[in-house]
Structure 1
Amino acid sequence: MTMKAAVVGGGIGGLVTAVALRQAGVDVRVFEQASAVGTAGAGIQLAPNATRVLDALGLLPAIRRVAVEPTEFDFRRWDDGRVLSTTPLAGAIADTYGAPYLHVHRGDLIAILAEALPVEVGARCVDVVPGDRGAELLLAGGRREQADLVVGADGIHSLVRRSVLGAEDARFTGHVAFRGLIPAERVAGLGLAHTATVRMGPGRHCVHYFVSAGRLLNVVCVIEETSWTRESWTDRGDPAEVRAAFADWDPVVRAIVDALDAPLKWALFDREPIPRWSKGAVTLLGDACHPMLPYGAQGAAQAIEDAAVLAACLRDDADVPAALARYEALRHDRTARVQAISRGNATRFHLPDGPAQQARDAAIAASNGLTPDLDWLYGSDIFTAA
């Protein structure tokens, strides 16, 4: 009998999971609470550990058509734009790790994924009940669905997580990000190359790179706040606020920020690693179980890795709880380490000028931006316990 799976959440993690499970012979349905599959959003970075999985799933050719392959990754100083290090990406990184490094608009990627399988929209999950065999999904309006497996890919505020593991608030990190997309022609005079650029400064940093085949510049400007009191974790940002925050930065940064007409202001939350992700035939994936700060550009990549490993475990073992136990064993320590790396960068990127900042800059320059974690992150076999 064909295994039946319900994936809660139609974001990147949920959709890649559904594609991977379907290719593993599982009958998959995706339930998304929004009224349409989301094509909004900003840019994401897909490192080789993610694009290798997408290639194996047959999705990479379509993604390449809407992506940008950056030439290099640059760290720069905040006040004068001085380059601290340059890491070659295009060609070089694919030669080393067997897969490219790409920048893509989240909406472009989701549109490609949604073409590969049907998604039921307007289907809001309100409870999940694990059973002795399988699980029951309760949807708004009283509808119930039975499945042999339920995957919660419904983000950091996951209902599935709360249903099976109990309530626990996410932690506000003290960082907020202003993010937005700028038409490339509006910043053409700045001479920006197709690079991934991080500009680090005291108490804040700015990241920018092109997406949508070079038509849009994705910009993320992060500052520190002591609290987040608003009910929503994403608000409309005030352009004047972000301009004031970067008023004394390099003129290129100021010009980029001036072009941000309607940024979103995004509170950054995360959680500590949890000891278990599953209960019976219900498991979690991506931000639902290991949310991380975006400072390692690995949130989507780790969800994509989760999807591949979960599908492989279920293909190899029809005993769902046993397969989920193996999935956790393969993924838990690796994702916890990536969470820690990303959290560490929150401090590293925001050092005030002084001895610690000078030591950081010297270390970055000496390593050409490469860290000892890079081979482990991009080149590890995700199908063996890390």
Structure 2
Amino acid sequence: MRLTDRKITIIGAGIGGLAAALAFSQQGAEVTVLEQAEAITEVGAGIQISPNGVAVLRALGLADDLAWTAPRARAVVLRSHRRGREVLRLDLDQYAPGRNFYFVHRADLINLLADAARRSGVKVRLLQKVDRISCGARPVVHLANGAQCGGDLVIGADGLHSKARAALNGVAKPRFTGQVAWRATVANLHNHPAEAQVFMGPGRHLATYPLRDSSLMNIVAVQERKTWADEGWHQQDDPENLRAAFQGFGGAAAELLGQVDQVALWGLFRHPVAEVWHKGALAIMGDAAHPTLPFMAQGANLALEDAWVLVDALRTAKTTEAGLAAYQARRHDRTARVVDAATGNAWKYHLRQPLAWPAHQILRLGGRLAPQRMVQQFDWIYGHDVTGDSAAPTENDPGTGGPVTTLA
């Protein structure tokens, strides 16, 4: 199906929405992105782009820009919480040759995608708050100011509280996971290397890695608790609450926690993968279709995959309906499997005694005897390339690899 001159409206100027806008525009479509914020600003903090996401950015012509923007991960290091003693180190350069993992500030990736989309002719309209969407052969987007818009195709890339998902599936109540997370950035005062460091403690863990020119450190701290915080990144909390929750964490973790002067707190909720991803000429993608917990660092990467597959499925189909059906068929099972893996992953870092000590010994032994196997255990996620339906392209070696997961 020719996409040239087709009018496409995308709701949401996040990573997935902008990647889809760029991919559609590169196929000749006329693309408008609706964003409710007043500007595309520095929202969020660090995310990890793994080889499956890098493959999409490479296909969009942005891999070099990413490499200039973000540090490349060299290792994943698991540590015990009390003194920061190393439990397991996995060298990505050695055991995942040619596979690049990047630590990216979300705002930098958004700016990279937005600039490329605008250069390609995409129109980004700000202050466009969507009230509801009417499905149909030509969907109608009803804005809060009373205006209406639409097109030959409408894509909902509007996140957790998606109006497009609600139009297709109704509203489903998420389940609180019993975990909350703090997110902060601080100055990299001690020259921490380009490694993901995970400090494992009883009922909680803390993950850190550098951003930008390594001048910043990203901190994500997860705690199990019975009470819950609201969803979203924008609920500010007192840094003393974070430090109190992670009292007893030593080494570099304590130093970084001591630097925090601003921190956001949010509750972690489990949302079901949507049953219906499309109807007529309306479709959903990214968190609107398959919200995921951050424990596989795959939210942004799955959104990038969606963007590429959506455009490719429509480009190669005879009709819009056939293309959207192919898109869901190609994405549903994979995203559901990743979401399930993320849901079940956090407990590995939260073990209490007497289980923690033997578990750490097993990790140490595995790191000595079978490090490559430990690196490759999630290759089904990180080695997937939707741009070629094969292992992600490598720069030096065709081998496979994917690290022990860390938090986004």
May I ask how many residue pairs the two structures share in their alignment? 378
Corresponding residue of 1:206: 206
Q: C-alpha separation between the residues in 2 aligned to 1:385 and 1:340?
A: 22
Corresponding residue of 1:127: 132
2:174 equivalent to 1:140 = no
Provide the secondary structure at the position in 1 that maps to 2:242.
helix
Corresponding residue of 2:238: 238
CA deviation after TM superposition for structure 1 residue 316, in Å: 0.8
Q: C-alpha separation between the residues in 1 aligned to 2:216 and 2:327?
A: 37
CA deviation after TM superposition for structure 1 residue 183, in Å: 1.6
CA deviation after TM superposition for structure 1 residue 170, in Å: 2.3
Corresponding residue of 2:401: none
Map residues 20-169 of structure 1 onto 2, 5 A cutoff.
20-90=23-93, 93-95=96-98, 97=99, 100-116=100-116, 117=118, 118-131=123-136, 133-169=137-173
Task: Return closer, same or farther for 1:355/1:20 CA change in 2, 3 Å cut-off.
Answer: same
Preserved CA contact (<8 Å) 2:90 2:375: no
Preserved CA contact (<8 Å) 1:178 1:265: yes
Q: C-alpha separation between the residues in 1 aligned to 2:360 and 2:28?
A: 48
Select between 372-381 and 60-69 the one with higher mean Cα deviation: 372-381
Map residues 267-282 of structure 1 onto 2, 5 A cutoff.
267-282=267-282
CA deviation after TM superposition for structure 1 residue 157, in Å: 1.2
Task: Return closer, same or farther for 1:301/1:140 CA change in 2, 3 Å cut-off.
Answer: same
Task: Return closer, same or farther for 1:248/1:64 CA change in 2, 3 Å cut-off.
Answer: same
Consecutive unaligned residues in structure 1, runs of 5 or more: none
Q: C-alpha separation between the residues in 2 aligned to 1:120 and 1:337?
A: 34
Corresponding residue of 1:342: 342
Q: C-alpha separation between the residues in 2 aligned to 1:302 and 1:231?
A: 20
Corresponding residue of 1:264: 264
Q: C-alpha separation between the residues in 2 aligned to 1:332 and 1:362?
A: 34
CA deviation after TM superposition for structure 1 residue 300, in Å: 0.4
CA RMSD in angstroms comes to 2.2
Preserved CA contact (<8 Å) 1:71 1:195: yes
CA deviation after TM superposition for structure 1 residue 376, in Å: 1.2
Provide the secondary structure at the position in 1 that maps to 2:96.
helix
Task: Return closer, same or farther for 1:265/1:94 CA change in 2, 3 Å cut-off.
Answer: same
Corresponding residue of 1:299: 299
- Deviation string 1:75-126 (CA, Å, 9 cap, x unpaired) is 111122222222222475352x4xx111110111111111122311101111
Q: C-alpha separation between the residues in 2 aligned to 1:23 and 1:94?
A: 31
Q: C-alpha separation between the residues in 2 aligned to 1:9 and 1:304?
A: 14
Task: Return closer, same or farther for 1:70/1:371 CA change in 2, 3 Å cut-off.
Answer: closer
Q: C-alpha separation between the residues in 2 aligned to 1:169 and 1:350?
A: 27
- Deviation string 1:135-184 (CA, Å, 9 cap, x unpaired) is 11111211111211111111111111112211112222221111111122
The amino acid that maps onto 1:155 is G
Preserved CA contact (<8 Å) 2:230 2:266: no
TM-score (norm 2): 0.87
Consecutive unaligned residues in structure 2, runs of 5 or more: 392-408
TM-score (norm 1): 0.92
